[in-house]
């Protein structure tokens, strides 16, 4: 069963952020649920403004695995969901660069190439399947299946929130025994999340059902981010259900900064998230 999902490739990033040998795992062995287009490799957009590599089309969703040095491996895994408005994936800025940072902290990172553009249902299928695949193969990567979380940016933050609140929702028909495994994240990190306030009068998006079993969350945003209200309504909903949540909101920083230098928000959230992960996840 595991053979069909694994292949090795060299990741060549057009912006030359970095290149390294990684493991790429295709999520769906046969037909991709709800997908009408033929499977193909991700299509890179010609738009590389702000020195960002953008994937403009995904029809064969996959995980790219980034392993920490064996001496650093802390046994925790994180599925990383890049943003891009559900239109593209900012695959280096909010994917591969984040994985590299997580590796330095000892985490095994799984960058999710979920379906775009305009495939929100498919994206939820993909993140649920991804969580199950990682848990099924956790021993191979030295990951504790009970310490597997999600980390998302912008639309990827939306997707991470959806994964954290819709884990009991059957969004696709099971394709193998891996789909019997839980897809619930053990923790969630939302960085400048978007689309969480689509309810009436900018309240919580109705799709996001929060209760006492929702995983603990770390949320970071800025007041000058047009999507900043998402962080506020999500935090309020979590507090109302007494779910552990830590919110940080800076005055400035905007949106879409990843962890690149030169932006106060980008230079602030990583250390705060590192502390939260250490005290909230590693110590349990």
Give 236's Cβ-side CA count (13 Å radius). 11
**DSSP conformation class of 123:** H
pTM (predicted TM-score):
0.93
The residues, any chain, with a CB within 8 Å of residue 270's CB and separated by 6 or more, are 101, 259
Strands 187-191 and 89-90: unpaired
Token pair recorded at residue 49: 């403004």
**What are the Cα distances from residue 234, in Å, to 153, 209, 237?**
14, 11, 5
pLDDT at residue 244 in the model: 98
Tell me which residue of 183, 242, 233, 237 sits closest to 209, measured CA to CA.
237
Token pair recorded at residue 214: 């929702």
pLDDT at residue 243 in the model: 98
Task: Evaluate whether 267 touches 261 at the Cβ level (below 8 Å).
Answer: yes
pLDDT at residue 282 in the model: 77
pLDDT at residue 284 in the model: 63
> What long-range pairs does 27-31 form, CB within 8 A, spacing at least 24?
27/61, 27/62, 27/63, 27/126, 27/129, 27/130, 27/133, 28/60, 28/61, 28/129, 28/175, 29/4, 29/5, 29/175, 29/176, 30/175
pLDDT at residue 181 in the model: 97
Task: Evaluate whether 111 touches 64 at the Cβ level (below 8 Å).
Answer: yes
Whole-number Å distance between alpha carbons of 145 and 139: 8
Task: Set out the domains of the chain in order of their start, with CATH numbers.
Answer: 2-282 (3.40.50.1820)
- Per-residue pLDDT tens digits of the chain, which is 284 residues long: 443 333 323 233 333 334 344 799 999 999 999 999 999 999 999 999 999 999 999 999 999 999 999 999 999 999 999 999 999 999 999 999 999 999 999 999 999 999 999 999 999 999 999 999 999 999 999 999 999 999 999 999 999 999 999 999 999 999 999 999 999 999 999 999 999 999 999 999 999 999 999 999 999 999 999 999 999 999 999 999 999 999 999 999 999 999 999 999 999 999 999 999 999 987 66
**What are the Cα distances from residue 219, in Å, to 25, 44, 193, 230?**
28, 29, 8, 10
Whole-number Å distance between alpha carbons of 214 and 221: 20
For 253, phi then psi, to 5°, come to: 145, -25
Tell me which residue of 104, 83, 103, 79 sits closest to 94, measured CA to CA.
83
């Amino acid at each position: 069963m595991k053979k069909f999902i694994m292949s090795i490739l060299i990741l060549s990033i057009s912006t030359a952020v970095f290149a390294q040998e990684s493991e790429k795992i295709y999520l769906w062995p046969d037909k991709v649920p709800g997908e009408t287009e033929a499977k193909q490799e991700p299509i890179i957009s010609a738009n590389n403004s702000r020195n960002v590599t953008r994937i403009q089309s995904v029809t064969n969703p996959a995980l790219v695995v980034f392993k920490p040095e064996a001496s650093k491996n802390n046994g925790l895994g994180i599925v990383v969901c890049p943003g891009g408005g559900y239109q593209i994936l900012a695959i280096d800025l909010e994917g591969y660069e984040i994985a590299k940072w997580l590796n330095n902290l000892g985490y095994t990172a799984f960058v999710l190439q979920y379906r775009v553009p305009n495939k929100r249902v498919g994206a939820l299928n993909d993140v649920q399947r991804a969580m199950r695949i990682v848990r099924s193969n956790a021993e191979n990567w030295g990951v504790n299946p009970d310490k597997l979380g999600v980390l998302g940016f912008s639309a990827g933050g939306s997707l991470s929130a959806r994964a954290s609140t819709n884990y009991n929702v059957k969004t696709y028909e099971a394709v193998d025994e891996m789909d019997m495994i839980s897809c619930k994240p053990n923790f969630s990190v939302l960085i400048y999340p978007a689309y969480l306030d689509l309810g009436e009068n900018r309240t919580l998006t109705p799709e996001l059902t929060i209760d006492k079993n929702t995983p603990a969350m770390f949320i970071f945003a800025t007041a000058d981010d047009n999507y900043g209200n998402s962080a506020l309504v999500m935090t309020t909903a979590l507090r109302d259900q007494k779910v552990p949540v830590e919110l940080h909101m800076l005055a400035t920083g905007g949106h879409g900064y990843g962890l690149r230098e030169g932006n106060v928000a980008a230079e602030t959230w990583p250390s705060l998230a590192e502390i939260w992960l250490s005290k909230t996840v590693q110590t349990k």
